[in-house]
Every structure is written in structure tokens, then in C-alpha cells.
Amino acid sequence: MQIKKLYSDSLAFAEKDLKLAFRYKVNFFAQTFLTPLTTVMPFLLVYSGYFLLGGTQVENLSDTTFVTFLLIGTIVNITLRLGFNRYLNKFKLEKYWQTLDAISITPISKLSLILGGMIDGLVSVIPGIIIISFAAYLFFPTSLAVVLPFVVLIIFALIISLCLGLIAGLASIFNENYSTIFQYSLLGIVFLSCFFYPISFFDNHPILALLKTIVLINPYYHIVTLMRGVWFGTGFSTQSFIFVSMFVVAMPFISVALFNWVWKRFTVEGY
């Protein structure tokens, strides 16, 4: 019964959020697809220039693999941004509409906020991911067997980013200063996820080597590495998969518990 209600509530959230997101379609597409594409573009240009000028190898990247390598990074980047920004942007609006107050008094589990976000997030990213995956396939064809692990890992990335987004969104409604802080922290996560360069880049300087420690505990690094491993057939680390799975299981409960605790404890500022 509880699971049925959770499922029905999640679907209700997904439907409502999709309708809200598509009210201003250009804004939605720009945030979700254009920003990640503009992020990958400089790397694409630099790598292309290097290989066109006769370069043969950048760490383990070659002229046949670098585009697909970047496009897989872009897929995870899109997923991360979509989940992370979902609540950050939405909650700011909902704060003024007072719809969060309305939701907070309905008899629902806050897990449905995350599950609903996952459903509408998947619906939102799937078209872009299919296009990018197709492009990646053109540059480096792979087996169709990658589809299942790919989808699973994208769902994992989305769940983690939604949980982070829920915490960021909640903090932002209590104090809008946090909204800016979290927006910039997203850049930090992207930088420390190796979406656009191999992790071996971090071995080239003592400070970067320190940052590598953070990269290694960043689940997005493991997700993107697992996806690349599957695509290029270079292996699948069970250890990484278990590490990411632990995040996927724990994060929803942690973020919902935090949501419930913070919601009751603090007073919303600014309206």
C-alpha cells in the first residue's frame, strides 16, 4: 500500500514538474543541454587542434577515442546538472508560490520528491542522451550490450544529483546566498569528476595530486569511468560499482532526513 502510494505520488510529482519545466521551453533546453555543450566545446576544440596538428596520444586518449570520451563525459554532466539544478531553481519559485508549504502538509513521503524528480529527469534527459550517444557511436562504434549498464549508471548519476539538488534547493530557500554558493560548487564537482580529461592529468602537479584524492571519492568520477570502460571495452570495476551503489542507496535517505529536519527547524527567509 505504502509503495503504491509512493509510486503514485512520484508520478504526480513527475507529471507536475514536467509541465512546469516545459512552460518555458527555451530556458529548460538551454540549462539542460546548451550549458553542458558549451562546457565541452573548448575541450573538443583543444583536443581536435592537438590531433589535427599531428599529436597522436593524450594520456590514454587517441584521435579515434577522444570525441566519444568527451561525449560520455557530457552525458554525465547533463545528468548531473539536470538533477542538481532541478530543485535549486524550482524551490526558489515554489518558495514564493508557497507551494512547498502546501506540499509539506500533504500526507506524502518526501522520497516521492526524489523519485518524481528521477522520473521527470529521465524523461527530460533521454532525448539528449540518445542524440549524444548516437554521435558517440558514430565516432567509436560499440556493442548494443552497453545500453543496459549505461541506463543503470545514468539513473545512478541522476539519483545522486537529485539528492544533492534537494539539499542545495532546501538550503537556498532558507537563505538565497546558498543558491549562488551551490551554483559555483557545481563547477567544482564538474572539475573533480574528470568529465573532460583523464584522471592522470592530476598526477602532473603536487596540488593536483591532492585534488586527485577528492576525485577518487567522487561518485561521478566512478560513474563516468564505468561508462567509458563499458563503451570502450576496457573493463568494468566491480569495486567502483559497489562504491557508487552505496551512494545511490544512502543519499535519498540522507537527503530526505535532512529535508525533514531542516524544514521544521529553520524559518524560510526572504518572503
- Where do contacts with other proteins occur on this chain (CB under 8 A)? 5, 8-9, 11-12, 15-16, 19-20, 23-24, 97-99, 101-108, 264-265, 267
The nearest distance, CB 122 to other proteins, in angstroms, is: 19
> What gap in Å lies between CA 254 and CA 248, rounded to an integer?
10
Nearer to other proteins among residue 53 and residue 105 (C-beta): 105
The nearest distance, CB 182 to other proteins, in angstroms, is: 21
> What gap in Å lies between CA 30 and CA 42, rounded to an integer?
18
> What gap in Å lies between CA 210 and CA 220, rounded to an integer?
18
The nearest distance, CB 20 to other proteins, in angstroms, is: 5
> What gap in Å lies between CA 258 and CA 166, rounded to an integer?
9
Torsion angle in degrees (nearest 10) through CA of 11, 16, 113, 218:
100
> What gap in Å lies between CA 83 and CA 125, rounded to an integer?
10
Nearer to other proteins among residue 177 and residue 245 (C-beta): 177
If you ran DSSP here, which 8-state letter would residue 61 be given?
A: B
> Residue 113: is it exposed, middle or buried by C-beta count within 10 angstroms (0-12/13-18/19+)?
buried
The nearest distance, CB 168 to other proteins, in angstroms, is: 21
Count of alpha carbons within 13 Å of 52, Cβ hemisphere only?
6
> Residue 89: is it exposed, middle or buried by C-beta count within 10 angstroms (0-12/13-18/19+)?
buried
The nearest distance, CB 180 to other proteins, in angstroms, is: 15
Nearer to other proteins among residue 59 and residue 101 (C-beta): 101
The nearest distance, CB 167 to other proteins, in angstroms, is: 19
Nearer to other proteins among residue 141 and residue 264 (C-beta): 264
Nearer to other proteins among residue 16 and residue 205 (C-beta): 16
The nearest distance, CB 16 to other proteins, in angstroms, is: 5
Nearer to other proteins among residue 108 and residue 171 (C-beta): 108
Count of alpha carbons within 13 Å of 65, Cβ hemisphere only?
17
Nearer to other proteins among residue 24 and residue 236 (C-beta): 24
5: closest CA among 87, 106, 98? Answer: 106
